[in-house]
Amino acid sequence: MEKELFMIFGDPVSHSKSPLMHNFAFRELGFNGCYSRYHLKDGSKLKEKILSLKIKGCNITVPHKREAFLACDYLDSFAKSVGVVNTIVQKNGKLYGYNTDATGFLKVVEGFEAKNILFLGAGGTAQSTAKILKQNGFNVTVSNRSKKRLESFIEDGFETYIYDELEVREFDLIVNMTSAGLSDDSLPAPKELLEELFKRAKGAIDVIYKETPFLKLAKEFNLPTKDGVDMLIFQGAIAFEYFTNHQFSFDEVEPLMRKALALEL
């Protein structure tokens, strides 16, 4: 069988760990595939690139996830409802789109005993993940430092607050959905507010791939925590299932991707 080609498209894309994770899993599972990266500046060229390079499957990262949605011929029901795609499979010249960021994040949340969840941050990642949690029976409240980005959440029926208006009550899980702590040591919300929330919470999640000031503070309250590495691995393992037409299960692929990341660190 001819080697199948997979790709991640983004701008920038050089930081992506996806080639490492997927290539390691291909090798360990004996799958004849190769996963590379493509620095794509113009997202409207995505379909053309996939077809001309004969790419079997790809992931799409910032800023092209909306363009990826528009490029697809078929969408699964969740991707259709959220309007954003991060995984595409090509079959006979047709593109099939999925959102495995959201399904990956759902799996992370399912690892906690949580029903009432507070999001800090209201960007693109918060949008798709809030929707999938809601569809799966979780109560999601969304809080942000400024008002503008809360508008679409209000339209989708979420309870929303800017930080100044958020009344502290019991939330099982507090999630940092912002980029605060990614390249600085800032907290996503005022420290006093976080301390009051952590006193009552059962856990904390950060979507950033490392221990942020937010997670450090949660640990001071003895909360179980997860950083963004699990979300990264889970979205990758679910994408891998689509790429290989479900020849391999999530449970086989997930530990391999985790190992690939651990070996690199």
Torsion of CA 85, 88, 92, 94, to 10 degrees: 10
Residue 244 near ligand NDP by CB under 6 A: no
Cβ nearer to ligand NDP, comparing 66 with 202: 66
Q: Phi and psi (nearest 5°) for 48?
A: -55, -45
Residue 111 near ligand NDP by CB under 6 A: no
The position carrying tokens 């086989």 is: 252
Catalytic residue (one of 47, 56, 65, 107): 65
The position carrying tokens 């990642």 is: 125
Evaluate the CA torsion angle 241, 246, 251, 256 in order and state its sign: negative
For residue 175, the cross-strand partners are 119, 205
CB of 83 to ligand NDP, least distance (A): 14
CB of 238 to ligand NDP, least distance (A): 11
Instruction: Give the one residue of 133, 173, 197, 231 binding ligand NDP; rule: CB under 6 A.
Output: 231
Biggest CA–CA distance in the chain, Å, is 60
Residue 160 near ligand NDP by CB under 6 A: no
Q: Is 148 noted as a catalytic residue in this protein? A: no
The window from 30-38, 73-81, 164-172, 205-213 that contacts ligand NDP (CB under 6 A) reads: 205-213
Of residues 61 through 80, those in contact with ligand NDP by CB under 6 A are none
Ranges assigned E (strand) in the chain? 4-10, 33-39, 55-60, 74-75, 87-91, 94-98, 116-120, 139-144, 159-162, 173-176, 203-206, 225-226
CB of 72 to ligand NDP, least distance (A): 19
Residue 213 near ligand NDP by CB under 6 A: no
Site map 128..147 versus ligand NDP, x via CB under 6 A: ----------------xxx-
Helix axes 191-200, 213-220, angle to 10 degrees: 50
Cβ nearer to ligand NDP, comparing 75 with 229: 229
Q: What three-state secondary structure class fits 30?
A: coil
Interface residues toward ligand NDP, by CB under 6 A: 101, 121-126, 144-146, 149, 177-180, 182, 186, 188, 207-209, 228, 231-232, 235
**Known catalytic residues?**
65
